Amino acid sequence: MQYISHDQSPIGGILLAADETGLTGLWFDREKYYADHLDPEHEEKDTPVLKQAKEWLAIYFSGKEPPFYPPLHMIGTPFQLSVWKILQKIPYGKTITYGEIAKEIAEQKGISRMSAQAVGGTVGHNPISIIVPCHRVVGTNGSLTGYAGGIDKKAKLLALENVDIQHMS
């Protein structure tokens, strides 16, 4: 059973979803893949996991790096899970390119190369925005590209983390 809760951030409304294991979704209202992984049958209820996620978001939106993470329950293919695991390792206030993620996945798989486009599609379908920081992934030339919540939100999240976005377009 999935449970949902709503939260309001300085950059828009957020829908959170969790099951008994951990957080399964975090979407900005009206984002491209809104509630993509939400079970048709769910219940609105502030569970301990959802409360932890809201506490994490409150700290994050105050401009600080949260000292903890709520439990996560990422559901996807082995490829998706490997990409999302790399996203979780991107430090607060830092960025990485789609190509760098593709290179890391290729190394993990023992192959010569991996498609940055395949990585981009998987990053774009990350069901747990912000906490699994897909906003920290930028184009090869450092450009702000490919954020399901919208490029404006991506820029605001990076600025909140004190990333210099002046040279990014």
Give the mean model confidence (pLDDT) for residues 114-123: 92
Q: Output the pLDDT for position 169.
A: 60
Q: Minimum mean pLDDT among 52-56, 74-78, 144-148: which range? A: 144-148
Report residue 109: phi and psi, to 5°.
-85, -10
Rounded Cα distance between 153 and 31, Å, is: 10
Give the mean model confidence (pLDDT) for residues 88-95: 97
Is residue 168 included in any domain, yes or no?
A: no
Residue predicted with more confidence, 165 or 96: 96
pTM of the predicted protein model: 0.92
Quote the strand ranges of the chain, DSSP E: 2-9, 12-18, 23-28, 42-44, 96-97, 137-138
Q: Output the pLDDT for position 150.
A: 87
Rounded Cα distance between 24 and 44, Å, is: 14
Residues 55 and 100 in one domain: no
Residues 43 and 97 in one domain: no
Domain that holds residue 36: 2-61
Burial class of 139 by CB neighbour count within 10 A (0 to 12, 13 to 18, 19+): middle
Q: What is the CATH classification number for the domain harbouring 42?
A: 3.30.160
Chosen domain end from 36, 61, 86: 61
Give the mean model confidence (pLDDT) for residues 13-39: 90
Is residue 89 included in any domain, yes or no?
A: yes
Residues 83 and 154 in one domain: yes
106: confidence class by pLDDT, cuts 50, 70, 90: very high
Torsion sign over Cα 28, 34, 39, 44: positive
Q: What is the CATH classification number for the domain harbouring 126?
A: 1.10.10.10
Is residue 57 included in any domain, yes or no?
A: yes
Is residue 13 included in any domain, yes or no?
A: yes
Residues that are catalytic:
134
Domains in the chain, number: 2
Rounded Cα distance between 136 and 121, Å, is: 15
pLDDT tens for each residue of 63-86: 999 999 999 999 999 999 999 999
167: confidence class by pLDDT, cuts 50, 70, 90: confident
Q: Output the pLDDT for position 144.
A: 85
Q: Output the pLDDT for position 85.
A: 97
Residue 41 has pLDDT above 70, yes or no: yes
CB atoms within 10 A of CB 10: 8
